[in-house]
Amino acid sequence: MTRKGKRITVIAGGAMFLTAAASLTVYALGQRASYFFMPTELQAAQLDPGQRIRLGGLVETGTIKHGASTDVFFSVTDNERSVPVSFHGILPDLFREGQGVITEGTLGADGVFVADSVLAKHDETYMPKEVADGLKAKGVWKAE
């Protein structure tokens, strides 16, 4: 094999390695992605069974109900549609009615969103960017 042939072989091998590494990275990140939906968008979404998503909006007034132990039931709304949420765990201290929230989990066959984590705003002026953008687009939330 000539010197030029060896060089081409090394370059081709390196390119194949980098392509394989990039492909595996993209595949792994695609498996961990959780998509963000507002309640109205969730109705039209075509979700695979068990697909993890993020549901964001405002905690609907009058819907927080505490069940046995740490079970909590509430609804997330964008003032057009509401989605009932079931959560087993400890809620953030600032979780309350009318506040911005993002929940992560899966949508059940009965239409109830089963959340495994709940993220609430952390001070009086913050709202998660995804939720704020979605609510601003609907004309529901306005920054003070």
Q: Please give the span between the terminal C-alpha atoms of the chain, in angstroms, as a whole number.
A: 72
User: Which residues belong to the annotated binding site?
Assistant: 122, 126
Structural contact between residues 95 and 118, judged by C-beta atoms closer than 8 angstroms: yes
Residues contacting residue 126 through CB under 8 Å, at least 6 positions apart:
none
User: Which residues belong to the annotated binding site for heme?
Assistant: 122, 126
Return d(Cα 47, Cα 24) in angstroms, integer: 24
Residue with tokens 């000539």: 2
